[in-house]
Amino acid sequence: MKSLDEILAYCNEQAFDLNFTYAKKWKTDGSNRTLVGFLPIYFPREIVHAINGMAVGVMGAGDHKQIIKGDAYYQSYICHLPRGIIEMALDHSMDTFDGFIFPAICDCVRNLSGMFKLAKKGKFQRYFDYPQNFDMAIGGVFYNQELHKIIDDVYKVNGVKMTTENLNHSIKLYNKNRRLIEEIYAIRQEFPWRLSAVDTYKIIRAGLSITVEEHNKILEDVVELIMVENGEPMDNIRVVINGSFCEQPPLGLIKSIEMAGCYIVDDDFMLGSRWIEGDVEEDTNDPLGAL
């Protein structure tokens, strides 16, 4: 097992690599592999994983890239996320990606999907709507159809068909991923000095840029490392940060809150990774229905 410092250094490197070096290498290391970028809100990554793909979170440029060309596509008062992502696309950072998913976050993201299509970024660009009606006979049918559209998009790229066995396997991996993330949060809520909010953020964000198999191993190691006492508890107040949604805060902001004397014990960061409460049903004859 690596030390916590080694894990954090690796996660920091992966989380903020705007060139997606890891994902590009993963694609070239195997046959019929497909890279699918998705914007930062919940997306059922299981369906991409089950058909020999890797769903990569595109979290924007943050404070790691100056926005120049992106400002020609959006008004200056539009939030930083879409402007940063179009900047990355125009800089050819994501040319290796086979397709992009634009979850229904806002009208700006809807427009961004059109911009990617006009710029011919990826072999497909899918604006991904979620059901507003939770009746399985209405919203459930609609959602199932939307998932099938993405499965068909990927199939047209790599020719890999979805199977019940593969999707059940992927669901198990992502259930484990969410359980481990929640376990880390549970430990931090009781012992927040063992792992800072900044370090937690790096660990969770790295999981959107690497395979779920590797991220699960990292999370298991982190859980084991923070189960034992380390550091000294301080007389800090415990706070919860809500409202960030898709736009990610600069690390400096999270660090400033901690240095001001706060333990951030829960948050909305990386909301897509924690959207589902509990497990998706495993080993079913209809795993897509379970999702």
Q: What is the pLDDT of residue 233?
A: 93
In this prediction, residue 68 carries a pLDDT of 86
pLDDT of residue 174: 97
* CA–CA distance, 170 with 50 (Å, rounded to integer): 6
pTM comes to 0.94
pLDDT confidence of residue 247 = 85
The single-letter code of the amino acid at 34 is T
Determine the Cα–Cα distance for residues 287 and 71; give it in Å rounded to an integer.
42
C-alpha 175/C-alpha 75 separation (Å) is: 39
What is the CB neighbour count within 10 angstroms for residue 49?
22
**pLDDT computed for residue 78 by the predictor:** 84
pLDDT at 213: 98
Mind listing the pLDDT tens digit for each residue in 128-177?
999 999 899 999 999 999 999 999 999 999 999 999 999 999 999 999 99
Residues of the chain predicted below pLDDT 50: none
Give the H/E segment covering residue 165. helix 164-190
Q: pLDDT at position 169, please?
A: 98
pLDDT at 86: 92
